[in-house]
Amino acid sequence: MPPSHLFGFASLLSAGITLMVLLIMGRFYQRKKLTGSGYGSYFLPALGAHLAGSIFFGLVHYFVLGKGDTFSYYTCISLVWEQLLQHPSHGIDMLLAAPGDSILPNHIYFTQRASLVVIKVGTLFSLLTANSFWAISCCFGGVSFLGCWAFFRAVIRINGASKAPRLHALFLLFLPSLLFWGGGIMKDALALAALYYLLSALIRLLLFQEQAWKMGLQIFIAAYFLGIIRIFVLQALLPAVLLWLFLLGVKQVASVKYRRLIYLGGLGVVLGVMAYFNGLPASVMGYYEWHQSVGSPQVSRSTYELPGGILGWLGMIGAAPHLIGLCLFRPFPWEWSSLLTLASGLESLLLMGFMGWTVYKRGILPSFHQLRQSPVALFLLTFCLILAFALGLFSGNFGSLVRYRMPLLPLFLAILLIIQSPKQ
C-alpha cells in the first residue's frame, strides 16, 4: 500500500474524525452510565489508550515489521470496498459469500473462514470511515476495548472493588500487550473482544444470575465469533465451563457419599475423553513444527524447543508444568531479542512479581483456600492453565507466543486480584 494513500490528507482526516467521534461517544457513555460508579473515570483514558495503541500497532508494522498481516487484511478490505462503491450488488454478494466462493478475489485470506470474518467486519468499518487504514484500525481497537471493559466490570463486581479499582484498571485495561496486540486490523482484536464478552456474560449469568435470555444471547454470539476466529481458545474454555457447572451441581447434593460418587464419575468422563482424543498430541506437534518454520524474524529471532518424549498423554501431562511456565513467564531476560519480546518479558516479570506479592500478603495455604472457595477463580484458573498448556505446546516461537497469550496475562492477574480481595 503506497505511503501517499496511507498518509494522504483524506486518510488522516478520516482517522481524526473517527477518533473524535469515538471519544465523544465514549465521553457521553461515561457521563450517562458511569457517573458515581467509582470506576467510571477510567473509561475514557482506557479508550484513548486502546485507540492510540491501534495507531501505534499500524505504525510499527509499517515502519519496523515490514507491513505484515494487518496491511494484507487492509488490501483485501479495500478490494471489497471498491466493489461496493463501483458495483454495489456485486460488493454485497462478496460480503455474503462463503470462504473460497468463486465471486471472491484470488487471495488466500478469502479462502480462510477466520480471515474472511476480519475482512467483512473491516469492510463494514471502511464504509463508515472512507476506507482509511488508520480509522479502521481505531474501530478494531474500540471493539477490543469494549470486551476488555466488560470483563473489567465483571471482576470489579466480583471483588467489590469499585472504590479502589486502580490495580484492576492497570492489569485489565492498560496492560501494554492489550493495547498493542488488541488493536489493529487483525484477528486478535476480534478474538479478544469475543473472549472477554463471553467470560463476562458467563460470570454475570452463573455467578450473579442476571437475565438468562440476555446473557444467553451474548454467550451465543461471542462463542460463535470466537469459534470462527480462535477455535482452540473456545475448546480450552469448554472444560472450564463444564467444571464450573459440575461444581454448581455438586453443591446442590447434600450427601457427602453421593458427592464422592459424582467426583468419581467426573474423573471417569475425563479419562474417557482423553482416550477418545488419543491422537491429539501428534496433531498438536504439527502446529508446533509449523510455527517454528514461519516465525517472523522481525518479531522474534528465536524459537524454543519442547521437552522430549511428550508424544502421548502421559508425556504431555508430565510436561504440563514446563509448558505452562513457558507460556506465562518466558521469554526470560536473556531471550529478549527485540523490543516486542522485551515488552512481553517485562509483563512476565510483572506477573511473577504480583504472584509473589500475593503469596507473601495472603500466605500460601490461605491463598489456596481462597482459590478453592471461589468458583469463578477456579473457572478462570482452569481455563488459563489449559490454554497456557496448549499455547506453550504449539506456538513454536516467541513471536507467535507473545501474540497468542495476550488475553491470558490479564486473566491470571484477575485471578490474583480475586484471591487478594477482602470480599472473597
> Tell me, what's the pLDDT at 300?
41
> Tell me, what's the pLDDT at 153?
94
Task: Indicate the residue among 140, 167, 200 that finishes a domain.
Answer: 200
> Tell me, what's the pLDDT at 390?
82
> Within this chain, do residues 295 and 179 fall inside the same structural domain, yes or no?
no
Question: How far is it, in rounded angstroms, from Cα 68 to Cα 87?
Answer: 29
Q: What is this structure's pTM?
A: 0.88
> Within this chain, do residues 300 and 406 fall inside the same structural domain, yes or no?
yes
Question: How far is it, in rounded angstroms, from Cα 307 to Cα 377?
Answer: 30
> Tell me, what's the pLDDT at 190?
96
180 within some domain: yes
221 within some domain: no
243 within some domain: no
> Within this chain, do residues 173 and 24 fall inside the same structural domain, yes or no?
yes
> Tell me, what's the pLDDT at 183?
85
Q: Which domain holds residue 324?
A: 277-420
261 is written with which cell numbers?
Answer: 460418587
Question: How far is it, in rounded angstroms, from Cα 163 to Cα 167?
Answer: 11
8 A C-beta contact, residue 414 and residue 380:
yes
Q: How many residues does the chain have?
A: 424
Task: Indicate the residue among 150, 171, 200 that finishes a domain.
Answer: 200
8 A C-beta contact, residue 53 and residue 180:
yes
> Within this chain, do residues 57 and 194 fall inside the same structural domain, yes or no?
yes
Give, in order, the Cα–Cα distances in Å from 279 to each of 209, 385, 393.
39, 21, 15
> Within this chain, do residues 172 and 56 fall inside the same structural domain, yes or no?
yes
How many folded domains does the chain comprise? 2
> Tell me, what's the pLDDT at 296?
47
Task: Indicate the residue among 200, 231, 246 that finishes a domain.
Answer: 200
Show Cβ contacts of residue 201 under 8 Å, excluding neighbours closer than 6 positions: 215, 218, 219, 222
How many C-beta neighbours within 10 Å does residue 216 have?
A: 12
Question: Which long-range CB contacts under 8 A does 13-16 form with residues at least 24 apart?
Answer: 14/129, 14/130, 14/132, 14/134, 14/135, 15/55, 15/129, 15/132, 15/134, 15/135, 15/138
Residues of the chain scoring pLDDT < 50: 1-4, 276-277, 279-280, 282-283, 290, 295-301
298 is written with which cell numbers?
Answer: 522481525
4 is written with which cell numbers?
Answer: 501517499
> Within this chain, do residues 294 and 412 fall inside the same structural domain, yes or no?
yes
Backbone angles phi and psi of 405, in degrees to 5: -85, 0
> Within this chain, do residues 196 and 282 fall inside the same structural domain, yes or no?
no
144 within some domain: yes
